[in-house]
Structure 1
Amino acid sequence: MADRRRWSTEEILDTAAEVLRTSDAESFSVRKLAAVLGTDSSSLYRHFRNKTELLRAVADRILLAAMEGYEPEGDWKQRVAALALRVREAFGEQLQLAAVWGRYGSGGAGSRLVMEELLQALRASGLPDEEIPARYHRIVILFVALITAEAGISSISPKEYEQGMEQFRVAVLGADPERFPALSHFARDIRPLGADRRTAFEEIIAAHLAQIEAQFP
């Protein structure tokens, strides 16, 4: 018989985060979470109306943790870059939740803190107010795309990673130079997608910000 203990919202979110560390958003369900808690689904629906609302709340806690103790420093580009790395590192510890954030978004306190800092940094850049919403939207899409993609790469097991690297080496180094002349030419210098992810993340963010700055009057 299900335990009739009243779980708090924070306890539910803690348990949901633990479940999502070892599964994905597709296989996650309120029923599974209720089973882990030893209760029934109806008791959880008193806190969250549906699965999507619950997932948004879990993702928002990651953003809230990312912003804890944050103090903006440097110029606008340094602030945006620091914010991007902070969010990346927060989700890096809970990889499945990055995909949740990318898919469902969040409107909680953590999300609002990230939005506020990003908008403040863009205002500090000197951009006209009418251009800031569009720039903000593109930067957030870039954040989500990079972090979610990285989560997908990082979530595979060490064995799967090594198997993938071996296939990569065979496919690239063994490419037919007549059919793939460019690939053959650069084969020894091409890096797999999983290599130097932090450096690639920083460089892509920096390049995007430099592109924005180049368009200033």
Structure 2
Amino acid sequence: MSERVVPDGERRRRRPTKRGTVLSEQLIVDTALRLIHEHGAAALTVRRLGAALGADPSALYRYFRDTDDLLLAVADELIGRTLRTWRPSGEWRSDLRSLGLRIHADYLAHPRAALLTFTRVTGRANEMRSVDMILGILRGAGFPDAEAVRIYHVFVDQTLSFAAIDAAAFTLPEENRELEELAWRERYARLPAGTHPHVAATAPVLVAEMGRSAYPAALEMMLSAAAARLAHLRGPG
């Protein structure tokens, strides 16, 4: 898509597609997310979207300025899916843990979309709600504003970075993933103690650990550091 601004009144018009489907922003976003999941970034063209929707590609301009505008809507939809399923407990550390794990899992459910969106700031409703919600959790726990913002920044960047790392691994061809797993089992696990004593001593644990995401452990380390910081700020007693 190229830049093409359509008046708001025109954007609100609803006309059935050739298949009789009434277009909406949500339908277009859901279709784009599905196409990205199946085909990657190459799917994000008006021609492919129009074909998938059974609509004239020009109709998409009623809802989005260009493909980047649509990509931001896709990014915001991923956030929204997390918010619609996550429920707080009222305990800040438990809430950040469950929220982080939920975000990570939802991104891995759409690894190609995750790789396209994890660095983007959408400026849309779901993202704004999530920023306010996380800051509220931290401020409610007693973190001063500057500390709450800093921990929010670390929490979000850590979560999205690990989601991107794990999504990249998910999108590797099956053969490449198998070769990487084999390298840990067949090469590292068999290194002799004489040349690689620390790998040899930890080999069973190392092989098991490298076969899973490091995000849960990294999240616990971050939460422990935040809890220690909060205890320090509160002082003795």
Which band: TM-score by shorter chain? 0.7 to 0.9
Per the alignment, residue 212 of structure 1 pairs with 226
Q: Does 1:115 align with 2:131?
A: yes
Q: Give, in whole Å, the separation in 2 of the partners of 1:44 and 1:192.
A: 47
1:8 to 12, 15, 24: 24
Amino acid at match of 1:55: L
Per the alignment, residue 68 of structure 1 pairs with 84
Given that residues 102 and 148 in structure 1 are in contact (C-alpha distance below 8 angstroms), is that contact kept between their aligned partners in structure 2?
Answer: yes
The worse-fitting range, judged by mean Cα deviation, of 6-15 and 24-33 is: 24-33
Q: Give, in whole Å, the separation in 2 of the partners of 1:150 and 1:76.
A: 26
Instruction: Report SS of the residue matched to 2:119.
Output: helix
Q: Give, in whole Å, the separation in 1 of the partners of 2:200 and 2:153.
A: 38
Q: Give, in whole Å, the separation in 2 of the partners of 1:185 and 1:194.
A: 15
Amino acid at match of 2:207: R
Structural mapping, 1:38-57, within 5 Å: 38-57=54-73
Per the alignment, residue 201 of structure 1 pairs with 215
Q: Give, in whole Å, the separation in 2 of the partners of 1:43 and 1:192.
A: 51
**Alignment root-mean-square deviation, CA:** 2.8
Given that residues 36 and 43 in structure 2 are in contact (C-alpha distance below 8 angstroms), is that contact kept between their aligned partners in structure 1?
Answer: no
Amino acid at match of 2:229: Q
Q: Give, in whole Å, the separation in 2 of the partners of 1:31 and 1:47.
A: 15
1:123-178 CA-to-partner distances (Å, cap 9, x unmatched) read 02211123222221111111111111121222345444323212333331344666
Q: Give, in whole Å, the separation in 2 of the partners of 1:90 and 1:124.
A: 26
Aligned length: 214
8 and 193 in structure 1: CA distance in 2 versus 1, 3 angstrom threshold? farther
Query: With structure 2 as the length reference, what TM-score do the two structures score?
Result: 0.76
23 and 105 in structure 1: CA distance in 2 versus 1, 3 angstrom threshold? farther
By how many angstroms is 1:121 displaced?
0.9
Instruction: Report SS of the residue matched to 2:71.
Output: helix
Identity among equivalent pairs (%)? 25
Q: Give, in whole Å, the separation in 2 of the partners of 1:196 and 1:170.
A: 17
Structural mapping, 1:60-99, within 5 Å: 60-68=76-84, 70-99=86-115
Instruction: Report SS of the residue matched to 2:62.
Output: coil
1:146 to 148, 155, 162: 162
Instruction: Report SS of the residue matched to 1:61.
Output: helix
Q: Give, in whole Å, the separation in 1 of the partners of 2:169 and 2:69.
A: 26
95 and 194 in structure 1: CA distance in 2 versus 1, 3 angstrom threshold? farther
Q: Give, in whole Å, the separation in 2 of the partners of 1:38 and 1:193.
A: 47
The worse-fitting range, judged by mean Cα deviation, of 168-177 and 88-97 is: 168-177
1:177-217 CA-to-partner distances (Å, cap 9, x unmatched) read 666443344333313676233xx422211210111221232
Given that residues 185 and 207 in structure 2 are in contact (C-alpha distance below 8 angstroms), is that contact kept between their aligned partners in structure 1?
Answer: no
1:58-117 CA-to-partner distances (Å, cap 9, x unmatched) read 121121121115432142111111111222222232222222331323222221222122
Given that residues 64 and 113 in structure 1 are in contact (C-alpha distance below 8 angstroms), is that contact kept between their aligned partners in structure 2?
Answer: no
Q: Give, in whole Å, the separation in 2 of the partners of 1:184 and 1:70.
A: 42
30 and 177 in structure 1: CA distance in 2 versus 1, 3 angstrom threshold? farther
Q: Give, in whole Å, the separation in 2 of the partners of 1:188 and 1:65.
A: 37
Given that residues 165 and 192 in structure 1 are in contact (C-alpha distance below 8 angstroms), is that contact kept between their aligned partners in structure 2?
Answer: no
Q: Give, in whole Å, the separation in 2 of the partners of 1:65 and 1:156.
A: 25
The structure with more radius of gyration: 2
Q: Give, in whole Å, the separation in 2 of the partners of 1:40 and 1:176.
A: 64
